[in-house]
Amino acid sequence: MPYDFPRAKSFLFVSASKIENFESAFQSGAEAIIFDLEDSVTPEQKPTGRKNILSFSKANPNKKFFIRINDAQSDFFTEDMAFLNQMGLANLYGIMLPKAEQKAHIEAVLNAVGEIPLILLIESAWGVQNINLTASMPCVKQLAFGAFDMILDLGLQDGEGKDFALNYVRVQIALASRIYNLLPPINRVFPNTRDISKLKANMESAYSMGFGGSLTFYPNQIATINAIFAQGEEKIEWAKEILRLAKIHKGEPFNFEGNVIDLSMVKKAQGILGRKY
């Protein structure tokens, strides 16, 4: 089955146990919806969450979404795989796999449901250690940063050390995404829903590291996230225009928007498009 994997800037988590929020999520401005069966759903509510997604998919065959399943080592993984086989994959852009630490975790998903695009959540020390093994697997399309679990796993405390450690992880995710020609990675959920200036600072930092979008649980963050990561789309349009003009000028330097465009700038444009397509 061919999958229409989206190039999204904003990824909105919606708890699978809250079916009353499903429809509104698609009107929120988020460019991708992730129905969550993991952290936002209690163990007792997971069967209800699966039923809610199944019901929604049957009623809305043209609406596409991701599902964050439970990790491959959890007690709920087998039930999630059975559910996916029952539902079918027609509504899915792909699956988000949390705590992606080993190739075996990815193989467990693919063996259960067949080939399907995957977003890997990197949210533990082992996830970082083995990122080159997991990111290189053929069904992996994108990496995402799971900061909350990473903070717990590393025992981080507030301060400069915590910021340094989290930025180190983001750099590793960005590097692996580039090396294995994945889509630009996805930034963490930012927990402060009121301080827009801190939200902007976090997203700008991620954007400057090569991230292409962000996770969120909060609809009031979506417009800010979309605006910041739209800068990447502007760069793509710039690069397309540079390469179009370079063909016309047959390798000779030319002026564009007040700047001299020489071979180095043409190579920069080629690099931008090489990473984005």
pLDDT digits (tens, 9 = 90+) for 181-202: 999 999 999 999 999 999 999 9
Residue 194 in tokens? 């009121």
Q: Give pLDDT, residue 268.
A: 83
Q: At residue 92, does pLDDT exceed 90?
A: yes
Q: Give pLDDT, residue 23.
A: 97
C-alpha to C-alpha distance for 48 and 172, rounded to whole angstroms: 36
The alpha carbon torsion through 119, 70, 148, 220 (nearest 10 deg) reads 70
> What mean pLDDT is predicted for residues 152-170?
95
Shared domain check, 265 and 134 = no
C-alpha to C-alpha distance for 13 and 219, rounded to whole angstroms: 9
β-strands 213-216, 10-15: how paired? parallel
Confidence band for 277, pLDDT divided at 50, 70 and 90: very low
Shared domain check, 247 and 223 = no
C-alpha to C-alpha distance for 216 and 214, rounded to whole angstroms: 7
Shared domain check, 166 and 49 = yes
Annotation: binding site for Mg(2+): 123, 149
Nearest partner of 31 among 173, 146, 147, 186, judged by Cα: 186
Annotation: binding site for substrate: 68, 123
Q: At residue 272, does pLDDT exceed 90?
A: no
Shared domain check, 219 and 84 = yes
The alpha carbon of 115 is separated from its chain's Cα centroid by a whole number of angstroms, namely 18
Residues with Cβ within 8 Å of 82's Cβ and at least 6 positions away in sequence, in order, are none
Q: Give pLDDT, residue 276.
A: 44
- Residue 46's CATH number: 3.20.20.60
| 266 CB-contact burial (10 Å; exposed 0-12 / middle 13-18 / buried 19+) | buried
Higher-confidence position of 13 and 272:
13
Shared domain check, 253 and 201 = no
Q: At residue 153, does pLDDT exceed 50?
A: yes
Q: Structurally, how many domains does the chain consist of? A: 2
> What mean pLDDT is predicted for residues 153-176?
96
- For 98-107, the pLDDT digits (tens) are 999 999 999 9
1 domain residue, yes or no: no
Nearest partner of 28 among 8, 55, 54, judged by Cα: 8
Shared domain check, 250 and 219 = no
Confidence band for 274, pLDDT divided at 50, 70 and 90: low
Shared domain check, 198 and 265 = no
Structural domain harbouring 261: 239-276
Q: At residue 2, does pLDDT exceed 80?
A: no
- For 208-265, the pLDDT digits (tens) are 999 999 999 999 999 999 999 987 677 788 888 889 999 898 878 889 988 888 888 8
Give yes or no for a contact between 212 and 174, defined as CB atoms under 8 angstroms apart.
Answer: no
Q: Give pLDDT, residue 68.
A: 99
Mean pLDDT of the chain: 93
Shared domain check, 165 and 76 = yes
Residue with tokens 């928007």: 257
Shared domain check, 201 and 105 = yes
Annotation: binding site: 68, 123, 149
Shared domain check, 61 and 81 = yes
Higher-confidence position of 117 and 234:
117
C-alpha to C-alpha distance for 118 and 66, rounded to whole angstroms: 9
What pTM value is reported for the model? Answer: 0.87
C-alpha to C-alpha distance for 219 and 227, rounded to whole angstroms: 14
Q: At residue 1, does pLDDT exceed 60?
A: no
Q: Give pLDDT, residue 100.
A: 97
Shared domain check, 163 and 94 = yes
Q: Give pLDDT, residue 232.
A: 67
Q: At residue 96, does pLDDT exceed 90?
A: yes
Confidence band for 171, pLDDT divided at 50, 70 and 90: very high
Q: Give pLDDT, residue 4.
A: 77
